[in-house]
Structure formats: C-alpha cells, structure tokens
C-alpha cells in the first residue's frame, strides 16, 4: 500500500468514526449501536479512531458549554502570536491515548448484545453460554458476555471466574480483566482480579496473554500452557510454573472450599473475608505472618478460627456487628 493510499484509508476510517460518534450523540437505535460496536471490534484502527473522535467531541462539547472568555486589554509583547495547544486539548489527547490502549473494548459501551451476570457476596453460580462454554463465577463477581459471529467476548468486571471454553477456532474466546487481555480457543482457565494485578491460572489448553487487545491476536503473543499461571499488571506480565498443590488451591473455590498450605494468617483471613459480610480483622501485626494450613468450607470461618486458637496463642473476639478481632493471647 502506497503512502497516499494509507493516508486515504486513515482518513476514511476517521470520517466513519466521526460519523458514528455524531450518530450516537443524536440518539442511535439498538441496531445502529450494534453495527457501530461491530465496526469498532473489526479492526484495532477503528477502535483507536473512534476513541480519538469521542474525546474530540467531548472536549468540543465542554468548550461549547463554557462561558465566553473575558477579553483582557491588549499589551505589547515580543512573544510570537503562535497558536497554542490548550491544556484541555492536551488532556484530551492523553485520554485518547489511554483509551486507545484498550483497543476494541470501547465497543462494549455500544453493543446491544451484552449480557451481565453477577454473584452476591458468598454466592457462586455457573453460567452456560450458547456455544456450550461455561463460566463459573465466584463470590461477589461480575461478567459481561457478548456472543458474536466472529468472537466470544467476556469482560470480567470484578471478582473471579473460571472459564471452560468450547472448542471453536473460528470464534476466539476473548477475556478482558483489568489490565489483562486473554485469548483461548478450547481450554479451561481461572482469572482473579486482585487489587492491582490480574492472576491467571491455566488448568487445560493454552491461553495467549497481552495488555493490548490487538496484541493478544499476534502469533508471538506470550502463551501460558496448562499447569502454568501469570500475574499481569503495571505494564508487565510475569509467568509462573504452578505445582499441583497451588493449582488445586486456586480452583478449590469451585467446590466451595478454601485450601491452606503454609499461607500466612493474613492471607487466610483475606480468603475467608471474601465470603463474609462482617470481616475478620488481624488486630496484632505480629500475628499476620503465622503460617496456617487446612481444608475448610468457605462458610467455615469459625471452624478455621477455632483451629487457629488451638494452635497459636491467639484469641478471636467477636463483636456485636459480626466482625471478629484476632489478638495475641497473653
């Protein structure tokens, strides 16, 4: 493709993106919104152009809504009267770059075929998709699902999910979770959103990993195979080899179980708190690094604490609101 043709193609994409943004502002129908979402998803360049035009529209809208500027008296100056880029425009440009990073995920906001599934605190459920794939949702989790002709798109909004993917090479199974973009064809893998990172565990098959929606489709995208995992976040991806114990621990929640094998008391408390309205609190920092073990049902926090009290100089003090404070026993 010549430079001229490439420039013409870019202009055509920009023009189409601009027209779509205007149509959405005017009030697009459900079918139009779906067509726009499909166009955004079809090519990463479409997503970038659409994001840029959206930001330009927003900046212009804010400028139109601002009061007229107060003109100051002209003063003599030796400074060139060159046009300057406003701070607002710079902010807009930064926002455009930020949005562009997530690529086709902007299509989520305009798709009419997106279904939301969620679980309450302490609840677990299984969602069976139209193609036979299954999503296991852990406590306090939420996913958006869009089953399309060319792809199966999932967005893990919060929490944790295990995906059992039906084999279909013509429709890649794509999962967005925090900073992670994941692609699978026929496999099983667990994804957990933690405070600042995403934790991936692959139990079957292969999963491609990237932080950009376009890169996850590249042949050289990093791959995590069964028995492996990765931590994704802060612009980095750290693959890890997982032994059988860790694999079992990370997926034990599907059976309603918390498995502990040398975790710290603080880590164990964090796991039980995922299923509790009233938290367990480690009141003495000296207790946080005690090593604990055992197998407990997710709603057996009291049984766990009884075991802790029997093994260490720790007292569990229950409060009226249901919370439990762990303190050192004199």
For residues 282 and 74, give the distance between their C-alpha atoms in angstroms, rounded to a whole number: 65
Q: Are strands 206-210 and 291-297 parallel, antiparallel or unpaired?
A: unpaired
- Rounded to 5 degrees, what are φ and ψ at 8? -65, -40
Examine the domain organization and report whether 146 and 175 are in the same domain.
Answer: yes
The residues near 226 (Cβ < 8 Å, ≥ 6 apart) are 187, 202, 203, 204, 205, 206
- What is the pTM assigned to this prediction? 0.70
pLDDT tens-digit map of 34-85: 788 778 777 768 877 877 777 676 655 555 555 555 444 444 444 444 334 3
Specify the pLDDT at position 83: 39
Q: How many domains does the chain have?
A: 3
- Domain of residue 196 covers 114-246
Q: What is the mean pLDDT of residues 148-168?
A: 93
Packing angle between helix 265-273 and helix 301-311, nearest 10 degrees?
A: 160
| Domain boundary pick from 110, 145, 170 | 110
For residues 58 and 25, give the distance between their C-alpha atoms in angstroms, rounded to a whole number: 10
Examine the domain organization and report whether 127 and 174 are in the same domain.
Answer: yes
The residues near 44 (Cβ < 8 Å, ≥ 6 apart) are 103, 104, 213, 214
For residues 57 and 62, give the distance between their C-alpha atoms in angstroms, rounded to a whole number: 9
Task: Report whether 314 contacts 287 (CB < 8 A).
Answer: yes
Specify the pLDDT at position 68: 54
Examine the domain organization and report whether 235 and 152 are in the same domain.
Answer: yes
Note the Cα 235 to chain centre separation in Å. 14
Torsion of CA 268, 156, 198, 233, to 10 degrees: -150
User: Is 269 inside a domain boundary?
Assistant: yes
User: Is 226 inside a domain boundary?
Assistant: yes
């Amino acid at each position: 493709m010549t430079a001229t043709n490439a420039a013409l193609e870019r202009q055509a994409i920009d023009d189409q993106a601009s027209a779509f943004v205007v149509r959405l502002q005017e009030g697009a129908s459900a079918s139009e919104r779906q067509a726009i979402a499909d166009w955004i998803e079809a090519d990463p360049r479409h997503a970038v152009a659409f994001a840029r035009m959206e930001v330009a529209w927003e900046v212009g809208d804010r400028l139109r809504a601002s009061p007229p500027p107060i003109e100051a008296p002209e003063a003599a100056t030796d400074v060139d009267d060159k046009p300057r880029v406003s701070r607002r425009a710079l902010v807009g440009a930064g926002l455009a770059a930020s949005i562009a990073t997530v690529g086709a995920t902007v299509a989520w906001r305009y798709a009419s075929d997106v279904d939301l599934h969620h679980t309450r605190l302490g609840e677990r459920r299984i969602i069976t998709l139209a193609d036979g794939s299954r999503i296991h949702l852990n406590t306090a989790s939420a996913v958006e699902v869009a089953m399309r002709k060319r792809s199966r798109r999932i967005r893990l909004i919060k929490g944790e999910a295990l995906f059992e993917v039906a084999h279909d090479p013509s429709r890649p199974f794509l999962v967005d979770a925090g900073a992670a973009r994941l692609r699978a064809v026929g496999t099983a893998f667990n994804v957990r959103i933690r405070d600042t990172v995403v934790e991936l565990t692959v139990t079957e098959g292969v999963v491609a990993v990237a932080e950009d929606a376009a890169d996850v489709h590249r042949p050289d995208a990093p791959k995590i195979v069964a028995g492996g995992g990765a931590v994704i976040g802060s612009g980095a991806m750290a693959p890890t080899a997982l032994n059988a114990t860790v694999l079992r621990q990370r997926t034990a929640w599907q059976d309603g179980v918390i498995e502990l094998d040398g975790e710290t008391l603080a880590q164990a408390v964090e796991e039980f708190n995922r299923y509790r309205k009233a938290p367990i609190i480690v009141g003495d920092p000296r207790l946080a690094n005690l090593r604990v073990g055992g197998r407990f049902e997710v709603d057996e926090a009291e049984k766990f604490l009884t075991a802790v009290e029997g093994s260490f100089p720790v007292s569990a003090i229950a409060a009226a609101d249901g919370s439990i404070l762990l303190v050192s026993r004199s």
